[in-house]
Amino acid sequence: MTDTTRFADYGVVVTGAARGIGAATARRFAQEGARVLVTDVDGAEAEQTAAALRDDGLMAQALACDVADRASVEAAVAHAARAFGSLDVLVNSAARCTPDTPLFEDGSDEAWADDLDITLTGPYRCCRAALPHLAATGRGAIVNIGSVNGVQDFGNHAYSAAKAGLGSLTRTLAGHAAARGVRVNLVAPGTVRTSAWEGRDAELDAVCPLYPLGRVGEPEDIAAAVTFLASRDAAWITGTTLTVDGGLTAVNTGFHGGTRGRGSA
């Protein structure tokens, strides 16, 4: 059961929040008392998500925000701080993942640059704009949405490089921001059932046995981890990566299944 007061009087910005992990995270914060700005490059979808929260009696606004554009990011942060009276939490969920070309050498500079710009430089822009506001509250927190792609090979060269970079940015910014009273952490999800997998249920079913816990993740699994790291329950945690992946990166289920427990590597 959620604590409906854990984030009372908090102002929260979530990027990429029109759907999937971002939308579930915005809902979880709002359910726990926060005033949430739902941002997304698709402003109409962001408004639909915020409207659904308001229909449930929760406090949410929406604003179109393109994390690839510095002015757009700064406008969103300023709007939240003004509308809510403070900005206490930033969640960087917006990302871009371009499918790999069959041959690495056929990849384009444009696709590489676009993935890095949205997935890595976008959070950099958001953190840069939000940090003074977060520092002013005395309880500020940044939670970045990374990926297991940032720590192991699951394909998607540019996206994986960007997520690995986001892990590094999380650590370096945590070191800088600690003296200003701001904590910075990262959640690294495994496969999560979002709209990106729409119509691909057979593929999701096929990967379930690779997960020690026997299933892929749901957006709510990630939202629960994000809100924990943003809360005072995590007051002595900064610069860390919390892997939320059903045991995928801890246990080699394929190896275990192949050896049937008869031997070691």
Options 10, 124, 159, 211, the catalytic residue: 159
Question: Is 159 a known active-site residue?
Answer: yes
- Could you give the CA distance from residue 114 to residue 214 in angstroms, rounded to a whole number? 34
Distance in angstroms (rounded) separating the CA atoms of residues 265 and 263: 7
Q: Which residues are tagged catalytic?
A: 159
